[in-house]
A = this chain, B = another copy of it.
Amino acid sequence: MKRIKRVTIVGVGLIGGSIGLALRRRRKSIEVVGVGRRTASLRKAKRVGAVDQTTTDLAKGVGGSQLIVVCTPVDTIVETVRRIAPHATPGTLITDAGSTKAEIVSALDQDLGPGARFIGSHPLAGHHRAGPEHAQSDLFGGRTVVITPTRRSQAQDVQQLCDFWSLLGAQTVKMTAVEHDRAVAATSHVPHLLASALVAAMPEEYRALISTGWLDTTRIAAADPALWTHIFLSNRKSVLSNLKHVEANIARLRLALERGRTDQLETLLTKAKRSRDAVGS
């Protein structure tokens, strides 16, 4: 991390803004540049203290930085990195914060020119509220960041990326992009689909009877629909595969209930409780 003097964050929403805030709080010597398409968002990011400088000019924003973090929606990351690469100072490491990795990493795991090398990141942190105004300097504190290097990745780049996320308070885990996508289908994407399906089956007239169980179970359904549509499409295969298991589990519970099989129902619920207890609250 010693050689990093300047970091560019492309896309200063909740994640980009929180990276900037955390970086400026924890390493004041690093200059943080925010790049975005909308000046309103850039102004907000500057106002909350997430960036030192801002620009809408991608080429101008990335030159001279030793690390570039692309925090745009998943469907725009590949294109953004390709546009950045020719303008990056030779040797610059580019990473992202996208919720899916296989599509992005396979598209970018190639020669990006002399200026830049890409390694994927996914910070497992977030909030169902978007925008730099919800940015938090401690968003990554104690959280896990998955890093997905490939055979082409250089050890010093991987180390630098680990050091970067550690500086923000996170712990890093390395795995392949494909492994990552399979795992987050189960831990994040399918739960999100189910939360949306639950909300849509809740008649308005029952709202008076909502309590903490429903609120907890459905909270993620309030996340940004456009953003999540692209996450689902980008991880389609793994999401559909895990969803198949979940649908089979639901059918198993339903059949036990239809048949009034107390023993089967209790066995299924007990298994689930044991797994859930093993994870903690």
- Spell out A's residues near B (CB within 8 Å): 124-126, 143-144, 146, 173, 180, 182-184, 186-188, 190-226, 228-230, 232-233, 236, 239-240, 242-243, 245-247, 249-250, 252-254, 257-258, 260, 262, 265-266, 268-273, 275-279, 281
* Alpha-carbon distance A208/B170, docked complex (angstroms): 13
Partner of A253, one of B126, B191, B193, B224: B193
Copies of this chain in the oligomer = 2
In this complex, the member of A213, A239, A265 whose beta carbon has the largest number of chain B beta carbons within 10 angstroms is: A213
Known A232-B257, A233-B262, A240-B257; 6 more pairs at CB < 8 Å: A190-B198, A190-B201, A196-B272, A196-B273, A197-B272, A213-B219
B209 touches A146 (CB 8 A): yes
* Alpha-carbon distance A173/B223, docked complex (angstroms): 31
* Alpha-carbon distance A144/B198, docked complex (angstroms): 21
Known contacts A190-B198, A191-B218, A217-B220; decide if A211 and B144 are in contact (CB<8 Å).
yes
Known contacts A233-B262, A262-B233; decide if A273 and B217 are in contact (CB<8 Å).
no
* Alpha-carbon distance A143/B210, docked complex (angstroms): 10
B191 touches A217 (CB 8 A): yes
Known contacts A218-B191, A219-B216; decide if A229 and B144 are in contact (CB<8 Å).
no
